[in-house]
A and B are shown apart, each in its own frame.
Chain A
Amino acid sequence: MSLLEVDGLTVGLERSPHSLLREVGFTVEPGEVMGLVGESGSGKTMASLAIMGLLPSGIEQRGGTVRLEGRDLMDSGTGEIHRTANQMTMIFQDPRSALNPTMRIGRQIARVIETNQNASREKARAAALAALSHVGIPGAKRVFRAYPHQLSGGMCQRVMIAMALACKPRILIADEPTTALDVTIQAQIFDLINDLVQETGCGVLFITHDLGAIAEMCDRVTVLYGGQVMETGSLRGVFTQPLHPYTQFLFDAVEREVDPRVEEKGANFALAGCRFGHRCPYVFEACGQFPPLRTVIEGHRSACFLPEEGRIGAP
């Protein structure tokens, strides 16, 4: 039994026949960092919001299950996901706008502790201060009384991590946590997340478009394109032996030093079959059907009908 098990997650715009996420599935194990990688617009953030039960209005979940430690989080009556912050919590891309601008930092962390651990106001205060020091913020007392606009982006992300930490979650979802920050801050934030995993043994779903960050942080990887899982497997497996034409294309783009986002034509969400169908060099009749994920090598699955031998450059 995995810690987090997402299966067949399908999400779409209301009153539209097309799906923004189609049968997305992957697992996260305890103490593991699972990377979710894809171009912008591939549905990474949408998937995380759907798992959290935080889909914006106008977007509906059409199917799929989200299981935490074997328990289905979906309420079968309302079709909504019910989760508490100590089951699963999330940090976001832009930490400065993710914090309440009219509330002191200390209060924002303290209330997390109050609501999630039933602590008294006094206790929560002390714990919040400790949490701030814990994430390596110098002068925690001063930051405690500050407002978000008085802090740098890196500091705000540390505060966000401190807040997430205070929830004591089983799963932490980190949505591009360093994209909005300076490169020099990135390593520090990564270390902080790694430490968190070491200490608490929680699982992390790490979302990014940056393959370098994936290589640095993750144990396993899921590749997403056009709201469809293309490939999932161990970091080593996917990076050394990419099975799906899209994954190969992604690495090729890095090799040729072009940003995949520059070349992208944009995913076509109307495609009936494989979402990579309109860009794939190997497309053939079978691709008009939706390709299920199938295990190719132990622990390494790919959603492609092509036999591996048929591909150029295949191992």
Chain B
Amino acid sequence: MSVLGPTSPDGGAQERVEGFIAPEIPGKAYQLPLWRRKPLLIIGLVILGIYVLLAVAGPFFVDDPRVTDPANFYQGPSSDNWFGTDKFGRDVFARAVHAARLDVTIGIVIALSSMVIGSAIGVVSGYFGGWVDEVMMRLTDVVMAFPGFVLALVLVAAIGNSVPNVVIAVSVAYIPYFIRLTRAQVLAERELEYVDGAKLAGNSPLRVAFRHVLPNSMGPSFVQAALVAGWAILTVAGLAFLGVGIRPPTAEWGVMVAEGAPDIITGQWWTALFPGGMIVLAAMAFQFIGDDMGAETL
């Protein structure tokens, strides 16, 4: 005979003994407030917020970035020209603010487009496997054998200098990251039961892949996108600094640094260092956000 008699020692027993339920100590594990746990995320979001504000509203409050003032060249930072003026007497601050709109937009567009394309390829590759997967993986191997910057460099050089071409070239350089990331997630995700459920419910394989598996595999890609947005700003500015992609007289941070670089050794530091600092701060904001959201960073 069983030691415990016919009852099983689970919830049912509680009602039997005068409905007694063992009391619990209230309270969950205490978590530190968000700003203590993820201070960098908050700082990053604040900086990014300022940039977005600058990009959206800034151009309405500053002068035309193309206006030259030959009498007023190489003026140091002052209350009139916060970032000083360059060799043509253009206001560096006005140019940097106009550039914010261009650079931040480009960075985000590159991150989003490479994420969308990379994830789509990644989900097909990971979910269906087979020769498609094999080909895609070898292809990403080859593309990733180039340093991303060099790939973007030669792509722009081949297809020509223009803003859309830069966006395309830099996106291509980052797509393999998203393919890899999504594929790895999909490989883990497709083994889960809800995928079988979705299949049994009569969904087509493509629908299962894109409507069920993909949305559940996107988490790491969003985090990665934050980092890529930062790197993209650096890459675009780096290309412009080399005279590739976006060219003078466009108000773009990298272009401004390139134009101001020769001034450094004659002492006019503001023409290059201010726009350069804008680049680094913007990249840093994205980096803070991605880093604190727990991205795989390298």
Seed contacts A248-B4, A283-B20; 6 additional CB < 8 Å A-B pairs: A271-B25, A282-B13, A283-B17, A312-B3, A313-B4, A313-B5
Judge whether B193 is part of the interface by a CB distance below 8 angstroms: no
| A288 to B8 CA separation, bound complex (whole angstroms) | 21
Inter-chain CA distance A136–B14, complex, in Å, is: 53
Interface of chain A residues 228 through 287 with chain B (CB within 8 A): 242, 245, 248-249, 251-252, 255-256, 263, 265, 268, 270-274, 277-285, 287
Majority secondary structure, B binding face: loop
Q: Taking each of B5, B14, B24, B30, which has the highest tally of chain A beta carbons within 10 Å of its own beta carbon?
A: B24
- Per the bound structure, the CA–CA distance linking A274 and B27 in Å amounts to 18
Pair B22/A278 contact, Cβ less than 8 Å: yes
Bin the interface of chain B by size: 20 to 34
Most buried by A among B9, B10, B14: B9
Interface size band for A? 20 to 34
Instruction: Give the contacting residue for B17; candidates A16, A268, A284; CB below 8 A.
Output: A284
**Minimum Cβ distance to chain B for residue A223 (Å):** 14
Residue numbers in A under 8 Å from B4 (CB-CB): 245, 248-249, 252, 281, 312-313
B142 near A: Cβ within 8 Å? no
Point out residues on A near B: beta carbons under 8 Å.
Answer: 13, 15-18, 242, 245, 248-249, 251-252, 255-256, 263, 265, 268, 270-274, 277-285, 287-288, 312-313
Q: A16, A252, A274, A277: which contacts B3 (Cβ < 8 A)?
A: A252
B201 proximal to A (CB < 8 A): no
Also in contact, A13 and B29, with CB within 8 A (given A283-B17, A284-B18):
yes
A-B residue pair count with CB separations less than 8 angstroms: 87
**B17 touching A15, Cβ below 8 Å:** no
Q: Are B20 and A15 in contact (CB under 8 A)?
A: no
Which chain B positions have C-beta within 8 A of A282? 13, 17
| B29-A273 in contact (CB<8A) | no
B16 within 8 A of A: yes
CB-CB under 8 A from B28, the residues of chain A are 16
> 10 tightest CB-CB pairs across the interface, nearest first?
A277-B22, A16-B29, A281-B13, A270-B24, A15-B30, A17-B27, A313-B3, A248-B3, A252-B3, A288-B23
Q: Which residues of B contact A281 (CB under 8 A)?
A: 4, 7, 9, 13, 16-17
Q: How far is the CA of A142 from the CA of B97 in the complex (A)?
A: 71
User: How would residues 202 to 227 of chain B score, 1 for a CB under 8 Å from any chain A CB and 0 otherwise?
Assistant: 00000000000000000000000000
Given contacts A249-B9, A279-B10, contact A284 B20 (CB under 8 A): yes
